[in-house]
Structure 1
Amino acid sequence: MLQIANTELKRRAMLDGLTEVMNRLGFDSAYGEIWKKSVRDRTSLALVMVDIDHFKCLNDTYGHLFGDEWIKRVAQTLQSFTLQPDHFVARYGGDEMMMVLSDTTAWKAAEMSERIRLEISEMAALELSEDGPTVTLSLGIAATIPSENLSPDVLIKRADEALYQAKAAGRNKTVIWK
Protein backbone atom coordinates (compact mmCIF):
# COMPACT_ATOMS: atom_id res chain seq x y z
CA MET A 1 0.00 0.00 0.00
CA LEU A 2 2.82 2.41 0.89
CA GLN A 3 4.64 1.66 -2.37
CA ILE A 4 1.48 2.47 -4.38
CA ALA A 5 1.07 5.74 -2.49
CA ASN A 6 4.72 6.67 -3.09
CA THR A 7 4.41 5.88 -6.80
CA GLU A 8 1.31 8.07 -7.04
CA LEU A 9 3.03 10.93 -5.18
CA LYS A 10 6.01 10.74 -7.53
CA ARG A 11 3.70 10.77 -10.57
CA ARG A 12 1.81 13.81 -9.26
CA ALA A 13 5.07 15.63 -8.49
CA MET A 14 5.95 15.40 -12.19
CA LEU A 15 2.59 16.74 -13.48
CA ASP A 16 1.45 20.31 -13.96
CA GLY A 17 -1.72 20.82 -11.93
CA LEU A 18 -3.43 23.06 -14.51
CA THR A 19 -2.71 21.20 -17.74
CA GLU A 20 -2.13 17.65 -16.50
CA VAL A 21 0.90 17.33 -18.78
CA MET A 22 4.41 17.03 -17.35
CA ASN A 23 5.76 19.98 -15.40
CA ARG A 24 9.33 21.29 -15.64
CA LEU A 25 10.60 18.68 -13.18
CA GLY A 26 8.93 15.95 -15.23
CA PHE A 27 10.37 17.40 -18.41
CA ASP A 28 13.91 17.47 -17.04
CA SER A 29 13.70 13.85 -15.94
CA ALA A 30 11.98 12.42 -19.03
CA TYR A 31 14.03 14.49 -21.49
CA GLY A 32 17.25 13.21 -19.95
CA GLU A 33 16.08 9.63 -20.42
CA ILE A 34 14.92 10.20 -24.02
CA TRP A 35 18.25 11.89 -24.80
CA LYS A 36 20.19 8.86 -23.50
CA LYS A 37 17.98 6.50 -25.51
CA SER A 38 18.53 8.58 -28.67
CA VAL A 39 22.31 8.52 -28.09
CA ARG A 40 22.22 4.75 -27.65
CA ASP A 41 19.94 4.14 -30.67
CA ARG A 42 21.48 6.92 -32.82
CA THR A 43 18.05 8.29 -33.69
CA SER A 44 16.93 11.84 -34.31
CA LEU A 45 15.39 13.84 -31.48
CA ALA A 46 13.30 16.97 -32.04
CA LEU A 47 12.15 19.60 -29.58
CA VAL A 48 9.33 22.02 -30.28
CA MET A 49 9.13 25.00 -27.95
CA VAL A 50 5.66 26.56 -28.04
CA ASP A 51 4.59 29.95 -26.74
CA ILE A 52 1.15 31.56 -26.73
CA ASP A 53 1.60 34.92 -28.45
CA HIS A 54 0.79 38.10 -26.50
CA PHE A 55 -0.38 36.04 -23.53
CA LYS A 56 -0.31 38.95 -21.07
CA CYS A 57 -2.56 40.96 -23.39
CA LEU A 58 -4.99 38.03 -23.62
CA ASN A 59 -5.08 37.77 -19.81
CA ASP A 60 -5.52 41.54 -19.43
CA THR A 61 -8.34 41.61 -21.98
CA TYR A 62 -10.27 38.43 -21.17
CA GLY A 63 -9.11 37.58 -17.62
CA HIS A 64 -6.94 34.92 -16.00
CA LEU A 65 -9.56 32.18 -16.21
CA PHE A 66 -9.57 32.69 -19.99
CA GLY A 67 -5.77 32.43 -20.00
CA ASP A 68 -5.85 29.27 -17.91
CA GLU A 69 -8.44 27.74 -20.24
CA TRP A 70 -6.30 28.40 -23.30
CA ILE A 71 -3.16 27.08 -21.65
CA LYS A 72 -5.10 23.86 -20.99
CA ARG A 73 -6.43 23.76 -24.57
CA VAL A 74 -2.99 24.28 -26.07
CA ALA A 75 -1.58 21.52 -23.85
CA GLN A 76 -4.40 19.16 -24.86
CA THR A 77 -3.89 19.96 -28.54
CA LEU A 78 -0.16 19.33 -28.29
CA GLN A 79 -0.86 16.10 -26.39
CA SER A 80 -3.19 14.92 -29.17
CA PHE A 81 -0.22 15.02 -31.58
CA THR A 82 2.05 12.86 -29.40
CA LEU A 83 1.14 9.48 -30.78
CA GLN A 84 4.40 7.60 -30.18
CA PRO A 85 5.37 6.26 -26.75
CA ASP A 86 8.55 8.37 -26.59
CA HIS A 87 6.76 11.62 -27.46
CA PHE A 88 5.57 13.86 -24.66
CA VAL A 89 4.45 17.38 -23.78
CA ALA A 90 5.54 19.43 -20.80
CA ARG A 91 4.63 22.83 -19.46
CA TYR A 92 8.02 24.47 -19.57
CA GLY A 93 7.08 27.69 -17.80
CA GLY A 94 4.15 30.11 -17.74
CA ASP A 95 2.50 29.85 -21.14
CA GLU A 96 5.42 27.99 -22.74
CA MET A 97 5.23 24.31 -23.56
CA MET A 98 7.75 21.84 -24.88
CA MET A 99 7.13 18.86 -27.13
CA VAL A 100 9.76 16.13 -27.12
CA LEU A 101 9.59 14.00 -30.24
CA SER A 102 11.93 11.04 -30.38
CA ASP A 103 12.84 9.48 -33.71
CA THR A 104 11.58 12.64 -35.45
CA THR A 105 13.37 14.90 -37.91
CA ALA A 106 13.13 18.69 -37.92
CA TRP A 107 10.96 18.56 -41.04
CA LYS A 108 8.50 16.09 -39.49
CA ALA A 109 8.37 18.24 -36.36
CA ALA A 110 7.76 21.33 -38.51
CA GLU A 111 4.92 19.66 -40.36
CA MET A 112 3.32 18.66 -37.06
CA SER A 113 3.91 22.13 -35.60
CA GLU A 114 2.21 23.84 -38.51
CA ARG A 115 -0.84 21.61 -38.10
CA ILE A 116 -0.93 22.48 -34.38
CA ARG A 117 -0.54 26.21 -35.07
CA LEU A 118 -3.36 26.17 -37.61
CA GLU A 119 -5.64 24.12 -35.35
CA ILE A 120 -5.26 26.61 -32.48
CA SER A 121 -5.76 29.58 -34.82
CA GLU A 122 -8.93 28.02 -36.24
CA MET A 123 -10.27 27.27 -32.74
CA ALA A 124 -9.64 30.86 -31.67
CA ALA A 125 -11.18 32.29 -34.85
CA LEU A 126 -14.38 30.36 -34.20
CA GLU A 127 -14.66 31.38 -30.56
CA LEU A 128 -13.22 34.88 -30.15
CA SER A 129 -14.53 38.20 -31.41
CA GLU A 130 -12.87 39.75 -34.43
CA ASP A 131 -12.24 43.07 -32.70
CA GLY A 132 -10.29 41.70 -29.71
CA PRO A 133 -6.96 39.93 -29.37
CA THR A 134 -6.87 36.34 -30.52
CA VAL A 135 -4.91 33.23 -29.58
CA THR A 136 -1.97 32.34 -31.81
CA LEU A 137 1.18 30.31 -31.29
CA SER A 138 4.84 30.77 -32.09
CA LEU A 139 6.84 27.56 -32.34
CA GLY A 140 10.58 26.98 -32.40
CA ILE A 141 12.01 23.66 -33.55
CA ALA A 142 15.41 22.10 -33.14
CA ALA A 143 16.46 18.56 -33.98
CA THR A 144 19.64 16.55 -33.89
CA ILE A 145 20.98 13.05 -33.58
CA PRO A 146 22.26 13.18 -29.99
CA SER A 147 25.77 12.06 -29.19
CA GLU A 148 27.79 11.66 -26.02
CA ASN A 149 29.87 14.76 -26.81
CA LEU A 150 26.78 16.98 -27.19
CA SER A 151 24.96 18.37 -24.17
CA PRO A 152 21.17 17.89 -24.02
CA ASP A 153 20.95 21.60 -23.16
CA VAL A 154 22.16 22.49 -26.65
CA LEU A 155 18.93 21.26 -28.22
CA ILE A 156 16.84 23.21 -25.69
CA LYS A 157 18.86 26.36 -26.42
CA ARG A 158 18.39 25.90 -30.17
CA ALA A 159 14.62 25.40 -29.84
CA ASP A 160 14.48 28.54 -27.69
CA GLU A 161 16.45 30.51 -30.30
CA ALA A 162 14.11 29.30 -33.05
CA LEU A 163 11.11 30.34 -30.94
CA TYR A 164 12.53 33.85 -30.58
CA GLN A 165 13.16 33.95 -34.35
CA ALA A 166 9.47 33.12 -34.87
CA LYS A 167 8.45 35.91 -32.52
CA ALA A 168 10.84 38.41 -34.17
CA ALA A 169 9.41 37.47 -37.58
CA GLY A 170 5.94 38.59 -36.51
CA ARG A 171 4.65 35.74 -34.30
CA ASN A 172 2.09 33.09 -35.27
CA LYS A 173 4.90 31.25 -37.07
CA THR A 174 6.91 28.04 -36.98
CA VAL A 175 10.70 28.34 -37.31
CA ILE A 176 13.32 25.59 -37.53
CA TRP A 177 16.69 26.38 -35.94
CA LYS A 178 19.49 26.65 -38.49
Structure 2
Amino acid sequence: MLSVELDQIDKNILELVQNDASLSVADIADKVGLSSSPCWRRIKRMEEQGVIQRRVTVLDRNALGLNFEVVASVKLQLPNRENLELFEQAVDGWPEVVECMTVTGAVDYIIRVLTLDMHAYDDFLRDKLLSLGLVSDVQSRIIVRVSKRTTAVPLSLVEDSSSSNTK
Protein backbone atom coordinates (compact mmCIF):
# COMPACT_ATOMS: atom_id res chain seq x y z
CA MET A 1 0.00 0.00 0.00
CA LEU A 2 1.39 3.34 -1.04
CA SER A 3 1.67 5.99 1.64
CA VAL A 4 1.55 8.66 -1.09
CA GLU A 5 -0.15 8.76 -4.45
CA LEU A 6 2.11 8.57 -7.49
CA ASP A 7 1.13 8.36 -11.13
CA GLN A 8 3.33 7.27 -14.04
CA ILE A 9 4.63 10.80 -14.62
CA ASP A 10 5.70 11.01 -10.95
CA LYS A 11 7.46 7.67 -11.30
CA ASN A 12 9.19 8.85 -14.48
CA ILE A 13 10.37 11.99 -12.67
CA LEU A 14 11.65 9.88 -9.77
CA GLU A 15 13.48 7.54 -12.14
CA LEU A 16 15.25 10.49 -13.72
CA VAL A 17 16.25 12.27 -10.49
CA GLN A 18 17.40 9.14 -8.69
CA ASN A 19 19.78 8.42 -11.56
CA ASP A 20 20.97 12.00 -12.09
CA ALA A 21 20.14 14.59 -9.44
CA SER A 22 21.95 17.26 -11.46
CA LEU A 23 19.22 17.42 -14.11
CA SER A 24 17.48 20.79 -14.30
CA VAL A 25 13.72 21.02 -13.91
CA ALA A 26 13.55 22.00 -17.58
CA ASP A 27 15.45 18.84 -18.59
CA ILE A 28 13.22 16.66 -16.43
CA ALA A 29 10.07 18.34 -17.72
CA ASP A 30 11.18 17.83 -21.32
CA LYS A 31 11.88 14.12 -20.73
CA VAL A 32 8.51 13.46 -19.05
CA GLY A 33 6.41 15.58 -21.42
CA LEU A 34 5.50 18.45 -19.09
CA SER A 35 6.25 22.13 -19.00
CA SER A 36 8.62 23.32 -16.27
CA SER A 37 6.05 24.72 -13.81
CA PRO A 38 3.90 21.57 -13.40
CA CYS A 39 7.06 19.46 -13.26
CA TRP A 40 8.53 21.69 -10.55
CA ARG A 41 5.24 21.47 -8.58
CA ARG A 42 5.34 17.66 -8.75
CA ILE A 43 8.96 17.56 -7.57
CA LYS A 44 8.17 20.01 -4.75
CA ARG A 45 5.14 17.91 -3.70
CA MET A 46 7.23 14.72 -3.62
CA GLU A 47 9.87 16.52 -1.54
CA GLU A 48 7.21 17.75 0.92
CA GLN A 49 5.74 14.23 1.14
CA GLY A 50 9.18 12.80 1.88
CA VAL A 51 9.34 10.68 -1.26
CA ILE A 52 12.41 12.68 -2.32
CA GLN A 53 14.48 12.87 0.85
CA ARG A 54 17.57 14.61 -0.46
CA ARG A 55 19.79 14.95 -3.52
CA VAL A 56 23.33 13.62 -3.31
CA THR A 57 26.42 12.93 -5.37
CA VAL A 58 27.70 9.35 -5.35
CA LEU A 59 31.48 9.24 -4.92
CA ASP A 60 33.87 6.52 -6.05
CA ARG A 61 35.27 5.21 -2.75
CA ASN A 62 38.14 3.39 -4.52
CA ALA A 63 39.27 6.58 -6.26
CA LEU A 64 39.42 8.15 -2.80
CA GLY A 65 41.53 5.33 -1.37
CA LEU A 66 38.75 3.81 0.73
CA ASN A 67 39.44 0.32 -0.59
CA PHE A 68 38.61 -1.74 2.49
CA GLU A 69 34.95 -2.53 3.02
CA VAL A 70 33.52 -4.72 5.75
CA VAL A 71 30.03 -5.89 6.64
CA ALA A 72 29.97 -6.62 10.36
CA SER A 73 27.33 -8.35 12.46
CA VAL A 74 27.19 -6.79 15.91
CA LYS A 75 25.66 -8.33 19.02
CA LEU A 76 25.16 -6.18 22.08
CA GLN A 77 25.81 -7.55 25.57
CA LEU A 78 22.39 -6.41 26.73
CA PRO A 79 20.09 -5.25 23.92
CA ASN A 80 17.75 -3.10 25.98
CA ARG A 81 16.28 0.22 24.84
CA GLU A 82 18.98 2.33 26.52
CA ASN A 83 21.87 0.32 25.02
CA LEU A 84 20.28 0.29 21.57
CA GLU A 85 19.98 4.08 21.70
CA LEU A 86 23.55 4.49 23.00
CA PHE A 87 24.90 2.25 20.25
CA GLU A 88 22.97 4.09 17.53
CA GLN A 89 24.14 7.48 18.83
CA ALA A 90 27.76 6.30 18.80
CA VAL A 91 27.48 4.85 15.29
CA ASP A 92 25.94 8.09 14.06
CA GLY A 93 29.19 9.87 14.95
CA TRP A 94 31.53 7.39 13.26
CA PRO A 95 32.20 8.36 9.64
CA GLU A 96 33.57 4.87 8.85
CA VAL A 97 30.08 3.40 9.33
CA VAL A 98 28.18 4.14 6.13
CA GLU A 99 25.16 1.96 6.99
CA CYS A 100 23.73 0.65 10.23
CA MET A 101 20.67 -1.57 10.33
CA THR A 102 18.82 -3.13 13.22
CA VAL A 103 18.05 -6.73 12.26
CA THR A 104 16.23 -9.75 13.58
CA GLY A 105 17.93 -12.99 14.49
CA ALA A 106 21.10 -13.85 16.38
CA VAL A 107 22.66 -10.36 16.10
CA ASP A 108 21.32 -6.90 16.81
CA TYR A 109 22.91 -4.84 14.03
CA ILE A 110 24.54 -5.13 10.64
CA ILE A 111 26.96 -2.32 9.88
CA ARG A 112 28.84 -1.51 6.69
CA VAL A 113 32.23 0.04 7.31
CA LEU A 114 34.60 1.76 4.86
CA THR A 115 38.25 2.31 5.79
CA LEU A 116 41.63 2.69 4.13
CA ASP A 117 42.88 -0.81 4.92
CA MET A 118 42.75 -3.71 7.38
CA HIS A 119 44.84 -1.82 9.93
CA ALA A 120 42.43 1.09 9.90
CA TYR A 121 39.54 -1.35 10.37
CA ASP A 122 41.36 -2.95 13.31
CA ASP A 123 41.79 0.53 14.83
CA PHE A 124 38.07 1.18 14.29
CA LEU A 125 37.19 -2.09 16.04
CA ARG A 126 39.48 -1.52 19.01
CA ASP A 127 39.15 2.24 19.48
CA LYS A 128 35.48 2.73 18.67
CA LEU A 129 33.26 -0.32 18.39
CA LEU A 130 34.67 -2.48 21.19
CA SER A 131 35.64 0.40 23.47
CA LEU A 132 31.94 1.30 23.85
CA GLY A 133 31.54 -1.49 26.38
CA LEU A 134 28.19 -2.46 24.83
CA VAL A 135 29.28 -5.09 22.30
CA SER A 136 29.56 -8.78 23.12
CA ASP A 137 30.40 -10.07 19.64
CA VAL A 138 31.43 -8.81 16.20
CA GLN A 139 31.60 -11.01 13.12
CA SER A 140 33.38 -9.20 10.28
CA ARG A 141 33.07 -10.11 6.62
CA ILE A 142 35.52 -8.44 4.28
CA ILE A 143 34.00 -7.51 0.93
CA VAL A 144 36.17 -8.99 -1.81
CA ARG A 145 34.20 -7.78 -4.83
CA VAL A 146 30.88 -6.02 -5.35
CA SER A 147 28.91 -7.40 -8.29
CA LYS A 148 25.98 -5.00 -7.88
CA ARG A 149 25.44 -1.84 -5.89
CA THR A 150 22.78 0.74 -6.54
CA THR A 151 21.08 3.55 -4.73
CA ALA A 152 18.09 3.32 -7.07
CA VAL A 153 14.72 2.30 -5.65
CA PRO A 154 12.96 -0.27 -7.90
CA LEU A 155 10.17 2.02 -9.09
CA SER A 156 8.80 -0.67 -11.39
CA LEU A 157 7.46 -2.36 -8.24
CA VAL A 158 5.54 0.74 -7.14
CA GLU A 159 1.89 0.68 -8.09
CA ASP A 160 0.49 3.68 -9.97
CA SER A 161 -2.18 5.49 -7.99
CA SER A 162 -4.07 6.03 -11.23
CA SER A 163 -4.24 2.29 -11.90
CA SER A 164 -5.16 1.41 -8.29
CA ASN A 165 -8.20 3.66 -8.47
CA THR A 166 -9.63 1.57 -11.32
CA LYS A 167 -9.45 -1.74 -9.46
Q: TM-score range by the shorter chain?
A: 0.3 to 0.5
**Bigger share in helix:** 1
Structure number with larger C-alpha Rg: 2
The TM-score, its normalising length taken from structure 2, stands at 0.44
